[in-house]
């Protein structure tokens, strides 16, 4: 009898001492948060031995006992999360009133993949994203089946990197890129691309007049880039998509391509705006449009992307 009791105690103590590799989303629920509705900063997150940072924005009506979707926004090169936040206006309630927004900061103002990036490897940046997701789940009340990623330019290309990474893609229910610079995905559908699941919901929005990341592909600032049409076709193959349709609007300026993948319509989507340069598509003035320079575009990417994300949750 005593031997049985000792054995049970040993099993209980051993189980309690085992390391936890992932914290449940419920661990952040019930914790009071200060200053919801105001962008705040998380410094000193150690990832791959490096001190990393991100900013976050909780809904103004944040309820500590309600689980929220999370959208991670990845900035372009020579930038920080704050610029992407301001450029896309995604913090505004009309876009993310019931979502937690998170803006990671790349080392040296960029994400691994292009030749101009220094300071971290692709594997380290993917691990950083994984560490952020766990950190956010520990701090806030998160619906871990509804974590999404979106990026612009170099950050859009990093979305492609995450999509092709088994570790990275496993974190997300859906992904979206604007003016994506796909330096790590330019050799066809196989290309070592190994998403954690197929089909993987993904969207890309691009300007036909982009002078920085050419729609037709070619040599970019950080290496060769694929034609956007080829990149889309590779994802159509990876997702086993068929029945591609095209809808042309705004006097022929906007081309919306949509594929049926499996039994899901529009799981792979693309918007080409012929008149748009290298910027975040917005019907209102924004910072990246000023940098082109150009005026507002005929579509609003922040609304389109959020509507796309709302359709999907992680199995």
Residue-wise pLDDT tens digits, 74-125: 999 999 999 999 999 999 999 999 999 999 999 999 999 999 999 999 999 9
Q: For residue 61, name the pLDDT band (cuts at 50, 70, 90).
A: very high
What is the Cα–Cα distance from 11 to 36, expressed in whole angstroms? 43
pLDDT tens digit sequence for 173-197: 999 999 999 999 999 998 899 999 9
H helix and E strand count, the chain: 9, 12
- Please check the confidence at residue 157 and state whether its pLDDT lies above 90: yes
> What does the pLDDT read at residue 307?
98
Q: How many residues does the chain have?
A: 315
At 11 the pLDDT is 32
CA distances, 42 to each of 51, 55, 144 (Å): 11, 6, 20
Phi, psi of 144 (to 5 degrees): -70, -10
* pLDDT of 22 higher than 90: no
Per-residue pLDDT, averaged over 16-44, amounts to 75
Calpha distance 41→57 (Å, rounded)? 9
Q: How confident is the model at residue 7 (pLDDT cuts 50, 70, 90)?
A: very low
Q: How far apart are the C-alpha atoms of 292 and 294, rounded to whole Å?
A: 6
The mean pLDDT value for 36-57 works out to: 98
Q: Give the model's confidence band at 26: pLDDT under 50 very low, under 70 low, under 90 confident, else very high.
A: low
Neighbours of 15 (CB within 10 A): 8
- Both tokens assigned to 96: 């993310």
User: Is the Cβ–Cβ distance between 205 and 182 less than 8 Å?
Assistant: no
User: Is the predicted pLDDT of residue 6 greater than 50, yes or no?
Assistant: no
Q: Give the residue-averaged pLDDT of 37-46.
A: 98
Q: Which residues contact 180 (CB under 8 A, 6 or more apart)?
A: 151, 153, 156, 157, 159, 160, 204, 206, 213, 228, 231
Segment 238-261 shows an average pLDDT of: 97
* Range from 12-21, 147-156, 182-191, 232-241 carrying the lowest mean pLDDT: 12-21
15 pLDDT band, cuts 50/70/90, is: very low
**Domains parsed from the chain with CATH numbers:** 38-310 (3.40.50.1820)
Q: What is the pLDDT of residue 21?
A: 40
Measured CA distances, 247 to 177, 232, 261, 298 (Å): 20, 16, 18, 14
Mean pLDDT of the chain: 92
The pLDDT assigned to 132 comes to 98
Query: Which burial class, exposed, middle or buried, applies to 245 when counting CB atoms under 10 A from its CB (0-12, 13-18, 19+)?
Result: exposed
């Amino acid at each position: 009898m005593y031997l049985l009791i000792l054995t049970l105690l040993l099993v209980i103590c051993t189980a309690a001492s085992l390391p936890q590799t992932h914290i449940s989303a419920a661990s952040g629920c019930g914790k009071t948060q200060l200053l919801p509705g105001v962008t705040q900063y998380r410094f000193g997150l150690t990832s791959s031995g490096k001190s990393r940072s991100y900013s976050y924005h909780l809904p103004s009506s944040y309820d500590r006992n309600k689980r929220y979707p999370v959208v991670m926004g990845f900035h372009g090169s020579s930038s920080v999360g704050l610029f992407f936040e301001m450029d896309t206006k995604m913090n505004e309630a009309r876009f993310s009133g019931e979502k937690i927004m998170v803006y990671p900061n790349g080392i040296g103002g960029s994400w691994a993949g292009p030749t101009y990036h220094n300071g971290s490897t692709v594997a380290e940046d993917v691990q950083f994203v994984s560490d952020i997701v766990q950190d956010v789940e520990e701090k806030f009340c998160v619906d871990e089946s509804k974590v999404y990623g979106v990026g612009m330019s170099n950050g859009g290309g990093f979305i492609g990197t995450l999509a092709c990474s088994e570790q990275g893609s496993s974190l997300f229910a859906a992904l979206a890129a604007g003016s994506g610079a796909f330096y790590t995905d330019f050799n066809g559908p196989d290309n070592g691309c190994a998403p954690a699941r197929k089909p993987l919901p993904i969207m890309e929005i691009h300007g036909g007049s982009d002078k920085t990341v050419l729609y037709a592909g070619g040599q970019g600032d950080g290496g060769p880039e694929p034609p956007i049409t080829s990149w889309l076709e590779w994802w159509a193959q990876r997702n086993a998509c068929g029945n591609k349709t095209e809808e042309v609007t705004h006097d022929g300026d906007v081309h919306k391509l949509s594929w049926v993948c499996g039994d899901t319509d529009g799981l792979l989507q693309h918007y080409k705006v012929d008149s748009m340069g290298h910027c975040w598509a917005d019907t209102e003035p924004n910072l990246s449009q000023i940098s082109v320079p150009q005026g507002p575009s005929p579509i609003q990417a922040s609304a389109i992307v959020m509507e796309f994300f709302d359709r999907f949750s992680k199995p």
